[in-house]
């Protein structure tokens, strides 16, 4: 499957409550909540690549190996 943040190649495994866990070469390991997935799959919102990667890096510095991305306002933007 394609990475939901950068659209690069990523492996995916199911995550709790309808979400998906991704292992992306560019973004690293992370999980996306079912709500965020729903918004992206329906082209309602898209991830801001830079901001999302920064957010992931901050979470990892705090000790989360696989941060979970929820439908956060500052990470999601309107698709182009």
Q: Which stretch binds Zn ion (CB under 5 A): 5-13, 39-47, 55-63, 64-72?
A: 5-13
Least distance between Zn ion and beta carbon 44 (Å): 20
Helix (H) or strand (E) holding 65: none
Q: Does 54 bind Zn ion (CB under 5 A)?
A: no
Residue 9: half-sphere exposure toward Cβ, Cα within 13 Å: 1
Q: Does 69 bind Zn ion (CB under 5 A)?
A: no
Q: Does 24 bind Zn ion (CB under 5 A)?
A: yes
Least distance between Zn ion and beta carbon 63 (Å): 21
Q: Does 6 bind Zn ion (CB under 5 A)?
A: yes
**Burial class, 58, CB count within 10 angstroms (exposed 0-12 / middle 13-18 / buried 19+):** exposed
* Among 1, 39, 33, residue whose Cα is nearest residue 18: 33
Binding site for Zn ion (CB under 5 A): 3, 5-6, 8, 24, 26-27
């Amino acid at each position: 499957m394609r990475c939901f943040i950068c659209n690069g190649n990523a492996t995916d495994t199911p995550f709790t409550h309808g979400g998906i866990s991704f292992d992306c070469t560019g973004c690293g390991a992370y999980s996306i909540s079912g709500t965020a997935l729903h918004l992206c799959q329906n082209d309602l919102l898209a991830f801001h690549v830079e901001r999302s990667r920064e957010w992931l890096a901050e979470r990892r510095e705090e000790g989360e190996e696989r941060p979970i991305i929820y439908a956060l306002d500052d990470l999601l933007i309107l698709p182009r």
